[in-house]
Amino acid sequence: MSSPSFGQPVEERPVARTSGQLGNQTASQLLGDAIAQVQRVIVGQEHMVEQLMVALLAQGHCLLEGVPGVAKTLAVRSFSTVVGGEFARIQFTPDLVPSDIIGTRIYRASQESFDVELGPIFVNFVLADEINRAPAKVQAAMLEAMAERQVSIGGTTYPVPQPFIVIATQNPLESEGVYPLPEAQRDRFLLKVDVPYPAGNEEFDILRRMSVDPPTSQPVLNPQMILQLQRQAQEVFVHNLVAEYIVRLVLATRTPAEFNLPDLTPVIQIGCSPRATLGLVAAARALALIHGRDYVLPTDVQSVARDVMAHRIVLGFDAVADNIAPAQVIERIVAMVPPPTPVWNQQSGQNHQTPPGRSVPSANTYTAPPTPYQQPVPNMPNQPDFN
């Protein structure tokens, strides 16, 4: 008896690496060097810098939210310099129109024909600065590019360059002259990272580092290496019990009473969509690759759960009136839903054997959560038996 494994099928995942694929430790070293180069410029904010790399490897988009002056724009500029590729900054304003972003058709009188002028979104890294200052129609103009990696102008579809990532910033304090992102737009972002104030010692380092001759970052990666690392992140192994743990976290936002969280039923009005399930898997795989592993641990899922899930739930009116933050709800769910426990230094387990032809990670066996959490996921059929 063996449990199915979530991820690439066995026959499509060769044991030996291809000649162009980097080893896990080599990839981790490159990614660590890239993060270190960004942190030469950015003091502190380690979590923000790491999540930017997670979003890039997971082929998602990132939304940074913080008060002015906490180095959101500087972090994105430094990050784009380190990873290489073309970069464009779009300052969102109330008078912006969709054609200013995606492009438009221009009539050439000398040629008596229309030419397509592509917008600034056709780059590898797009910084949408203060995205909540633009009207909803401008925000919606980026939906096709973010979701489908293409833009339609005048009946013709133009693909965006690869790799492609949108990193948006917004100020949560101001309420005048801003247009809050609708739920459909927020759901397109893989991660939403809250950028806090720096600590006291970090503030002192900012004073010393930035007041005289600010440091600059150097390129470490290039677009071809990024595409290679993205493919390698997709091959990171996810055990079936870890995948079931991800599903339980998402289902706990929809029916919290079934997961011994009845007090959250009036708090959460709308739970996470299936896009959150896919986002948790992609982000956990990227984080595992950054840490030099080819398998996902439950701690990887817990590390990215807040940034992946918090902006996808909608709280009820009473919860908003009581100043309950979505991040607090997600932290409560992560603390209450028990994860599977990895069993180290064992080649196989009695009920969860490694399929033939698949490389065996260091923690290939997991024990299920304790009673009463061993029942199947609600509304999910029982797992099939495999001989």
Per the structure, the complete domain to which residue 321 belongs is given by 236-367
Structural domain ending residue among the three candidates 193, 226, 259? 226
pLDDT exceeds cutoff 90 at 286: yes
Both tokens assigned to 235:
């091959």
Q: Identify whether 30 is part of a domain.
A: yes
Confidence at residue 73, expressed as pLDDT on a 0 to 100 scale: 86
Q: Could you report the per-residue pLDDT of 188-222, keeping only the tens digit for each?
A: 899 999 988 888 888 888 888 877 778 888 889 89
Which CATH number do you get for residue 160?
Answer: 3.40.50.300
At 215, which amino acid appears?
A: P
Residue 383, in any domain of the structure: no
Domain boundary among 206, 226, 246: 226
Which CATH number fits the domain that encloses residue 272? 1.10.8.80
Render 39-61 in DSSP notation, one character per residue: HHHS-S-HHHHHHHHHHHHTT--
pTM to 2 decimal places? 0.80
Indicate whether 221 belongs to any domain. Answer: yes
Structural domain contains residue 11: no
**Per-residue pLDDT at 174:** 67
For residues 284 and 280, give the distance between their C-alpha atoms in angstroms, rounded to a whole number. Answer: 6
Number of structural domains (the chain) is: 2
Which residues, 6 or more positions from 100, have their beta carbon under 8 angstroms from its beta carbon? 90, 119, 138
- The answer to whether position 6 is within a domain reads no
Is the model's pLDDT at 250 over the cut of 50?
A: yes
Residue 7 forms part of a structural domain: no
What is the predicted pLDDT for the residue at 176? Answer: 66
Residue among 222, 195, 151 nearest 62 (CA): 195
DSSP labels, 234-255: HT-BB-HHHHHHHHHHHHHHH-
